[in-house]
Structure 1
Amino acid sequence: MFADLPHPHGPRPVLWDSTVTQRVGRMLDGDVKVAWFYGQPDTSTFRYRVANVVEALNSDPASPVGAGWFSDDDIPSVLPVVPQLDAIVLVRHRYGGHVRRLAATAARAGVPLLFDSDDLVFDTSYADMMMDSLGRDATVSLDWDVWYAYMGRLGATLRLCEGAFTTNQTLRAALGRHLPIEDVHVVPNVLNRVQQEFSRTVLEAKEGSGYRRSGPVVIGYFSGTPSHVRDFTVAAPALARLLARDADVAIRIAGFLDDVGPLEEFRDRIEFVPFMHYVDLQRSIAEVEVNIAPLQHNGFNICKSDLKFFEAAVVGTWTVASHTPSLDAAITDGVTGRLARDHEWDFALAEAVDLARDSERYAATMSAAAEHAHRTWAWDSVAEPVRAALTAQLAKGSVTSPLTGS
């Protein structure tokens, strides 16, 4: 494990610590005024698809876009300024009374609605796949009610929109079955400013020490959300075999996983760490030598983005990941990380442990990979694809919303 890394200083940043009035004012300062709406702020989709985007746009002095984010509860307060807007982005926002009023107000004012989704969760025809991916009991009626309601309400919001943003080409194609494909735009996930600045601090500490490490090689699984619990089973058997033959390897599991399956007999070599603030998470990832991102191969997971790779790369940590289109595009296999099919995890993990024990080679490999990641997923890099997508959509002119009434 890499030890003696710096801790974040001061209070942890909060992504939603401003008033509606402040956010409206900043948005209306722009030549092009765009509002992002999300149900309630959280540390997952809201952070990547809303807060990071708004921050990047508003921090660029040359940007014509004034951006603001708002929750479902904010909609009544924002309705009076809707006629002044140029576009509204509804990010995984479930249809309901507030959205209905917002859409009706936008339609009367000729303001286009755009959808944003970072997962394949907007079409109920994928509900079976979702249930299987999450390992839900198909005989439990309540689970079907939950997922059909969730996906159906997102689909209802999508039907109000004339364009969409999403994270990768796979999801773009899925959204293209509901919208003209030319109106679906890829806006990648990126870091935010605080996350990147602290990651740079941690990376420089590792580089300054020559990637000095001590103790066992630690392999980290940072699950993020409960939806990834079943994905761990892809790598778990290979991890168990690795622990059985190598006593100098340990595991760190962060997030929402307690059932470790074949690793149960090695529980004393597993460190469980709770869900944590995203800046603290960067330090936790930096401490381990190997980050893993296993995914079941199904239609839901092949739409996943590359964030599990770049969050590790920017702090100089090697990643072994399952193949998905986004991860295949992000990782130069064997150079910046390793891509593994289900039967390749034994080799990939053994290779990663060997790399970790060769400090000189690990340092050269990860410093180069980290610099590439800091350039590619820089916090302010998202502003340009958003501006390009908005330019393309606004040049079309607004169509009449299918929604009528209020």
Structure 2
Amino acid sequence: MQTSWEVIFYRTPAVSVIQTLIKEAKRFGIAPWWEVDDLIFDLELYGQNSNLLSLSKAEQESLLEGAQLYRECLQLCGRGIASTRVLGEIMQRAGIKDVCIIENAFDGETLKIADQLLGAGKSPRKNDDIVIVYGSGTRTHDQDFVECAAGLAAAMDAEPRLVLQIIGELTLPDEFQRFGSRVEYLEGRDYAGYMAVLAAADIAIAPLEPSIFNDAKSNIKFLEAAILQLPAVCSPSDTFRVVVEDNKNGFLAKDETGWRDTLLALARDEALRERIGRQARQDVLLRYRPEAIAQQQVATQFPSPERRKTDRLRVMAVNIFFKPRSFGGATLVAEEMATHLSALETDVAVFTSYEQIPELFSSSLRYEIEGMPVVGSPLSTHIDPIAGLDNPRCTAQFISWVKAFRPDVVHFHSIQGLGLGMLQACLEEGVPFVVTLHDAWWLCERQFMVKPNGRYCFQRHIDLKVCGACLPGAMHLKVRQDMMLSMLKEASLLLAPSESHRALYLANGFAPELVKVNRNGFSWPKVAHKPHQPKTPLRFGFVGGQEAVKGFPLVREVFEGLESADWELVLIDNTLNLGFASMDVSGWKVKGRITIQPAYGDATRDAFFNSIDVLLFPSQWMESYGLTVREALARDVWVISTAPGGQAEDIVDGVNGNLIPLDGRPEPLKTAVEGILARPDMLDSYVNPMKADLPKFRGQAEELKQFLQSVVH
């Protein structure tokens, strides 16, 4: 249901699990249908079926109890699909206004069986018997058979060649005992076996007791006979009258005389049997082939969900995380771009991951964020870097979502763990895709081009021999590189958040016209920054997590080495929002004060930056952008950052921050921190004079929309 336009509950009772599914369908904005091809949902009319009398009292009570559950399910769905006109009218009497009629059709397997049986021809008989066949199946058809019994017995009296074959259970009237071996009981069998018995016969009969219950039935018995070119004699119930043209493609018999005379005419005229049988097959193929029912009945009620003609761009955004499971700067950008694109008259859907929920097994999870439909694929937070390159289940769920939403373009952000199969799927579905290169994952197994010792590798053009030394024993690096680069080169456009990051991908063989810069915006302050108060400790903040690549070990080494105690350090632990802590400073030996806070969001971002005077950003790789740096610069927070890299492109050393070399040493960071501690008054009334040049999410989204539109065919 996650990615469907319609949901049909076929012959389901309103038990608890079905009620839950109906609620889910409605939550997705889908008005469900309830479909049935038998009158099992009207307690009063179902009780009038005299065939029930052949069942035990317990069986009767069970069926009637089920009828109420079926009715409840129909009413919960609110829309009905009936296989016959009368069945549809009874649904409407139950208060269902939206009812459509879709007759039962042949299926491919039945047509195949019929063709094979006709191709084989009838086996020659040792005698000149004329075989009449009746498919009873279960013992609930005793009363139906009574309709033809007197006429059939009279015909068998008048024509000694007539033989009656009964498939399944049936209690014959006593008068048939006189025919002895001319009445044969055949055990029930699989469908192919049942059809084989029909094909070998000469005449089929389909008697039905006159009742609204039987008027609601489908004309299956006639169809089965007709597809085998077997002439059929039927009761004149509503559903048979729809298709049977008397003496043209079949016969309708309503009383003893009608049954006797019709059966005798067929028994004594082989040419009549052949003519009626041929016409019956021709007529039912024209009307009841799957393709015919699909085109003439299903398609009129369920037309192909063609895209509405609109000038609005239709975008599917893909990122490993998304609200409410937000994590990391790339996710923030992905969320903001989706939201801002929506505000720019763009239809946006999202594909992401979610933390596995046991009750959902491997199902996708659909929900809505700020009016945008989101589908999440179950994915562990611990992603195998090799296995995560391909995720067939995720790819299948992505394809389903693409086919449902029908985007003009797919915009990929960070997709670690979701798998490259999604990009291949776009190619196969003919949907152009754009990739925002948030980091170096496409080039480096370690994602940030940092060696195991936490030092930046400083490669520009990636040399796998160097990578092999970084990952000893890794045998897949060449295959990984081929997969990554071949997929990226199929993109219609690659977007980098900074000139520095664009240069990295150009150095690895990507054409300049394929890689464009789309500078990341960020959340600008909603309140003015509270400057440092004189004679109070200087407040430093660090947001990068505890990884060496973000400089966390350098921060610890520097602050443990400070002689001054006149400072506070606020550490942000991103994983607290995922339900666990990753930072522990209990072993730090410092003179100042340290506090740990969870990652900030829209509601707490300004409060965090108002709690610090200086942002520490000693990243140990050439960042693609540095979102936190821009957030700080816009809020008049001084920034100490490594350079070069995207993180440094909006910092002018000594004007709005300090730039330190990207060399993995603690000394430059310590010098910058101690320099500020020596002059705390410089921040008492500090305002960043260059913040007007910083990008905004709105501007980024406007430019992004232009990029996306440019690749739509």
TM-score (normalised: structure 1)? 0.69
The structure that is helix-richer by fraction is: 1
Output the CA distance in 1 between the equivalents of 2:151 and 2:248.
22
Identity of aligned residues (%): 22
**Equivalent runs, 1:56-71 vs 2, <5 Å:** none
The Cα offsets for residues 321-341 of structure 1, whole Å up to 9 and x where unpaired, read as 000111112111011111010
Residue 300 of structure 2 is aligned to residue 388 of structure 1 = yes
Larger RCO of the pair (alpha carbons < 8 Å, separation 6+): 1
Output the CA distance in 2 between the equivalents of 1:279 and 1:380.
22
8 Å CA contact 1:252, 1:273 repeated in 2 = yes
Output the CA distance in 1 between the equivalents of 2:117 and 2:286.
16
**1:295 matched residue in structure 2:** 208
Secondary structure of 1:125's aligned partner: helix
**2:15 matched residue in structure 1:** 96
Q: 2:283 aligns with which of 372, 385, 389?
A: 372
**2:268 matched residue in structure 1:** 354
Shift in Å at residue 109 of structure 1? 2.1
**1:135 matched residue in structure 2:** 53
Larger radius of gyration: 2
8 Å CA contact 1:231, 1:294 repeated in 2 = yes
Residue 251 of structure 2 is aligned to residue 338 of structure 1 = yes
Output the CA distance in 2 between the equivalents of 1:141 and 1:374.
42
Output the CA distance in 2 between the equivalents of 1:241 and 1:336.
24
Shift in Å at residue 118 of structure 1? 0.9
Structure 1 range deviating more: 372-381 or 338-347 = 372-381
**2:438 matched residue in structure 1:** none
Residue 151 of structure 2 is aligned to residue 238 of structure 1 = yes
**2:223 matched residue in structure 1:** 310
Output the CA distance in 1 between the equivalents of 2:305 and 2:211.
32
8 Å CA contact 1:196, 1:379 repeated in 2 = no
8 Å CA contact 1:106, 1:113 repeated in 2 = yes
- Give the alignment's Cα RMSD to 1 decimal: 2.7
Letter in 2 for 1:105: E
**2:83 matched residue in structure 1:** 167
TM-score (normalised: structure 2)? 0.40
Aligned length: 305
**1:120 matched residue in structure 2:** 39
**1:60 matched residue in structure 2:** none
Letter in 2 for 1:184: V
Output the CA distance in 2 between the equivalents of 1:394 and 1:247.
62
Letter in 2 for 1:110: G
Q: 1:249 aligns with which of 154, 159, 162?
A: 162
The Cα offsets for residues 349-372 of structure 1, whole Å up to 9 and x where unpaired, read as 2122122xx3x4433332233222
Shift in Å at residue 126 of structure 1? 1.7
The Cα offsets for residues 3-27 of structure 1, whole Å up to 9 and x where unpaired, read as xxxxxxxxxxxxxxxxxxxxxxxxx
8 Å CA contact 2:250, 2:276 repeated in 1 = no
* Closer, same or farther: CA 144–319 of 1 in aligned 2, 3 Å: closer
Secondary structure of 2:77's aligned partner: coil
Runs (5+) with no aligned partner, structure 1: 1-81, 396-406
The Cα offsets for residues 140-170 of structure 1, whole Å up to 9 and x where unpaired, read as 7535532331100101111111211111111
Shift in Å at residue 247 of structure 1? 1.9
Output the CA distance in 2 between the equivalents of 1:146 and 1:241.
38
Output the CA distance in 2 between the equivalents of 1:259 and 1:365.
28
* Closer, same or farther: CA 379–107 of 1 in aligned 2, 3 Å: closer
Letter in 2 for 1:118: D
Output the CA distance in 2 between the equivalents of 1:226 and 1:393.
44
Residue 107 of structure 2 is aligned to residue 192 of structure 1 = yes
Secondary structure of 2:264's aligned partner: helix
8 Å CA contact 2:46, 2:213 repeated in 1 = no
Output the CA distance in 1 between the equivalents of 2:57 and 2:165.
35
* Closer, same or farther: CA 118–315 of 1 in aligned 2, 3 Å: same
Letter in 2 for 1:346: R
**1:21 matched residue in structure 2:** none
**2:185 matched residue in structure 1:** 272
Shift in Å at residue 83 of structure 1? 3.4
Q: 1:219 aligns with which of 132, 155, 178?
A: 132
